[in-house]
Amino acid sequence: MTETIMLSLEGSGGSGARTERGDRATEHALDRAQRANGTVYVLFLVDTSRYGEPALSSGELLVDDIEDEGRSRLADVAKRGRRRGVSVTTRCRHGRPAEELPTYAVQIDADTVVHGGRRLPGRVRTELGGVAGTVVSPGVLAGR
């Protein structure tokens, strides 16, 4: 059984790149991929509804910092996957979670979605649940 697993990480805008929830989600996704000979697709989303789009302003510096954090976290997950023999593909995008997360899950035909951030809004959980076999978020586990 081969499984396509989407791991969603979010930007904090803070100095701590890794979070406990993000680490647990990453370990869960890598464990699951290792057991199922699966691939993990990691999406780091810069939430434009929260931070806006970069422009010539001080806001651009914040977005740049969040992107740097994201690229560092993506590299960390890829490295952890390599150590375990798990195939990992990484992506950093800008957008609104309610639109980007379900869209990316459909693009990669995700069987499982693991979310390593704050609790997903109900609409996003519902849409992801429709395209993935399992949706995992802190305190949330739902399937098709």
What one-character-per-residue DSSP string does 18-76 give? --HHHHHHHHHHHHHHHHHT-EEEEEEEEEHHHH----SSHHHHHHHHHHHHHHHHHHH
Q: And the tokens for 109?
A: 């035909």
Q: Which CATH number goes with the domain that contains 57?
A: 3.40.50.620
Q: How many domains does the chain have?
A: 1
pLDDT (tens place) for every residue of the chain, 144 residues total? 679 999 998 765 444 446 777 888 899 999 999 999 999 999 998 877 665 555 545 556 667 788 888 999 999 999 999 999 999 999 999 888 888 888 999 999 999 999 876 555 555 555 555 544 455 544 333 333
Domain region containing 96: 4-143
